[in-house]
Amino acid sequence: MEEPTKKELRDERREERRREEAKRVNSKRMKKIVVWGAIIVTIVLIGWLLYSSLKGSGRELSEDRSRSVPLQEASHIEVGAQHEPYNSNPPTSGPHWADPVHPGVFDKSQPDEGMIHSLEHGMVWISHKSSIPDPAKEILNKIAREHSGIVLTERDSNDADIALASWGRLDTFNLGDGGSVDEGRILDFISRYFNKGPEKVPFMTGKEY
């Protein structure tokens, strides 16, 4: 087998340098794509949060009929573990499970321990007794679907027909005459207390129990 000539060796080294340079350029290009992708996602997320927090702010808010609830220690506990009693019904803070409940409309209840973690992330929890009439449920469904970061569930252990909960804040009330829903009261609560939790986490995280 013939030894490669000097020219062939030079060409081979030149080709190797060309391949190395191409790899370096591609690596640099990929890093730029990743960085710009992260920047774009961040901008979109900030815009979405801003839009969600300002949605409905054009209407004048009525009297705030919710109440502040003293915050309990927000510790993580294992699923099924015993914990101290909550200081409100439904709860607005306290021991909770590691996985929050993701936003959405649920036709069943979700565990308080999962919902508290959702409130910690800034979501608003609308819960209602299963016995309320279907037209009232449809109104609640519509509100939940039109606003981001809302969890709507049934909860028969509520003291009233409807409960609105956010981190450390609670409003409860019954349906009006003929099963009417005070939509303004719900929208005002969302405008005031949406995204007020201590942890800023994308709302799409979480699970259904």
Which residue's entry shows tokens 């979109």?
Answer: 44
- What are the structure tokens assigned to 206, written together? 């979480």
What's the confidence (pLDDT) of residue 143? 98
pTM score, two decimals?
0.72
Which residue's entry shows tokens 């409807």?
Answer: 162
Q: Percent of the chain scored above 70 by pLDDT?
A: 88
Reported as a single tens digit per residue, the pLDDT across 58-74 is: 568 999 999 999 999 99
What's the confidence (pLDDT) of residue 58? 57
Reported as a single tens digit per residue, the pLDDT across 1-16 is: 567 777 766 777 788 8
What's the confidence (pLDDT) of residue 56? 47
Reported as a single tens digit per residue, the pLDDT across 17-32 is: 888 877 877 777 777 7
Q: Percent of the chain scored above 90 by pLDDT?
A: 67
Residue 46 pLDDT > 80, yes or no? no
Task: Kindly indicate the confidence band of residue 34, based on its pLDDT and cuts at 50, 70 and 90.
Answer: confident
Q: Which CATH architecture has domain 67-78+87-193?
A: 3-Layer(aba) Sandwich (3.40)
Question: Residue 85 and residue 83: Cα distance in Å, rounded?
Answer: 6
Asked whether the beta carbons of 149 and 194 are under 8 A apart, the reply is yes
Asked whether the beta carbons of 191 and 51 are under 8 A apart, the reply is no
What's the confidence (pLDDT) of residue 2? 67
Asked whether the beta carbons of 124 and 194 are under 8 A apart, the reply is yes
What's the confidence (pLDDT) of residue 7? 73
- All structural domains of the chain with their residue ranges: 1-54, 67-78+87-193
